[in-house]
Structure 1
Amino acid sequence: MVAGSTLGTLVIAAAASLFMAWAIGAGSSGSTPFAPAVGANAISVMRAGFFVGILGLLGAVLQGANVTETVGSGLVLFPDGGGLSAIAATIALLTAAVLVATGVFTGYPIATAFTVTGAVVGVGLAMGGQPAWPKYQQIVALWVGTPFVGSGVAYATARLLRTENVRERLSIGGLAGLVGVLLANVEFTGLGPDGGPGALSVALARTFEGGTGGRALVSLVLGLLVATLVWYDIREHGERAQRRFLLVMGGLVAFSAGGSQVGLAIGPLLPLLDTFTVPIVAVLLGGGIGLLAGSWTGAPRMIKALSQDYSSLGPRRSIAALIPSFMIAQTAVFFGLPVSFNEIIVFSIIGSGAAAGGGSVSGEKMGKTVLAWVASLGLALGLGYGVFSAVAIL
């Protein structure tokens, strides 16, 4: 039997986790995936908030385990192999949630990954844990590389779509085929041989006993199928088909956001749940519901900020922004690394806008946004360390 005080602190930590999930849903995971589609007038702000909530919930359940484990036990190392205490988890979650919620209500996108990572590391070090330097190197490499990869791929994609020598149905169809190949190799919970994570291509290859060669063949077939469907749709329906493909890409990014961002909300709780027999799927579901609630109640404000304040996008530039966003997001999910969807989308928008002559990105807005990202990391780390140290003394 668990002591009452332990159960009580766990309830408080769980409430803080749900608040964090709401703040994430209202902020990064709820606003960024469909912002380019809203900017291209492919979907309304309210409908975008509705669909991103549903897709984020699915992503949380089907892909949320990797990042959740990293946030829960991979950011700070303890000699006994344990994790954050209930009080430490509560302080970390509340610190990060307040910062993210402040960004939501002021209209500036705070990078959730920065705030949660900083808060968790801060309280972990205050507890006497040791820095996980190899993991930090991976995370920093992702954070630093995202602006260059995101903007670079978005720029090249937008240039391709603007090339007059290549017909639009061929260029977009080819890009859709690439997305199909990537999607065939994305891991989902339940597709592995033991019921764990596994890719669709691997599962189908295993069914037909195709081995490694079978996986490549399945990926190629699925990619060609997607490319053919999109090519035919664009040939028959033109710009309407572009907007449909844009919405599909927004949905894939929203799904990926749920798989990544839920770990930021519920990861600190994992060490506390070792005492209880709570399945990880149930925890992911609870976090996903928190994301959904945030997307439905708070995301429209941030969607408007990103779609209108940063740039006015057409369908082609929006597609160019979402393709690298999907690629980077799934890479982060695969390696279990926390990533900022605000950072991904904003720099992808900049890259696609540069291909069209710069777009209408506000330099002042971008400067304040980047400053908020950097400040949120340091502030969350300092507050997490300081608040826990003060509570420990009391």
Structure 2
Amino acid sequence: MSKARAAAAAVADEDAGLTARRNPDLTGQAAAEQILIDAWNSGRLPHAWLIGGPPGVGKATLAYRFARFVLAQDAAGGGLFGESAPATSLHLSPDHPVFRRVASGGHADLLTVERQRDEKRNRLKRDIAVDEVRKIAPFLHRTSAEGGWRIAVIDGADRMNTNGLNAILKILEEPPKGTLLLLVSDNPGGMLPTIRSRCRKLTLKPLAEDTVVDLLGQHRPDIPADDRPALARLSEGSVGHAVALADAGGLALYREMIGLLSALPRLDIAATHAFGDALTRKTDDGMYETATELLVWWLARFARSLARGAWPAEVVPGEAALMTRLANARSLERWVEVWEKVQRLFARAESANLDRKQVVLNALAALEAAAS
């Protein structure tokens, strides 16, 4: 997964967990919500759920939505030891006492484990500290403060190290009665098979483009209306990624990149150097990372479309004509080689701290050589 898409889980905000805890709405994931409702109504609720899917599609929002619902049943006397009418929705009003306590992080029967902030660098740490994960077992084994469920949410479960994963595995092997463990993960396949096998898996799908457009209009009205459809398509159904791209100037970079590539099979030398200079003028503005990830994404999209024999809907005008011209120049196998070469080049540049402008020029030269 690219760094940009991993960052999309933050929905353009490093405090994404806080956003999810306070969000009363879940859009475009009715099927996933219904699975949780059916499991609750069955009276045989699995004690652990692995909620997976692309970043920025509502996984953490769904986890907290379900946690609030379950805790509200406790408060109403219809939870672990009571009876209630079959549920039809997980929605809880923001005015509900349980909603307010979860939003503030003050519910005694809910524990949240997530990456902590690195105060020196003023950003979230790369991984979830094992000490945070080890808080879960004693929390779940203690008596419920309100006589019902005890719930732990691990937001970013794929960010646990081996020690953290082993700690979770011990809990899953002998789960205490009346407990619910919700693991939210962008990459469930990267977790231990023994953990996956002990969880009920729930996978959220990418959002429809029109849903992303609507959500951008609701939550980020500052993004120009004309840009929202292109961002929705570029983000492939992730509103979090769409917001991250908008904040990083990703759409403008993408337009410039397509304009530059449209000159193939012969790139404009001056424009190519100007593009490289713009990306590497500052080392901390994220432009280089965003542009290189967009280039790799576009090459992968082109190769997949060429294999299918049909071009995708354009993000910006001119893409279909560019893809047609490149497809006529070389075979699918050759373009897959270029895609892999560019991927390796950018990965090596990061690990070896190579000159970034030269890396960009070399990547574009590889495209030019293939198109000639």
Give the structure-2-normalised TM-score.
Answer: 0.25
Q: In proportion to residue count, which structure has more helix?
A: 1
Please tell me whether Structure 1 or Structure 2 has the larger radius of gyration of its CA atoms: 2
Q: Which has the bigger relative contact order, CA under 8 A and spacing at least 6? A: 1
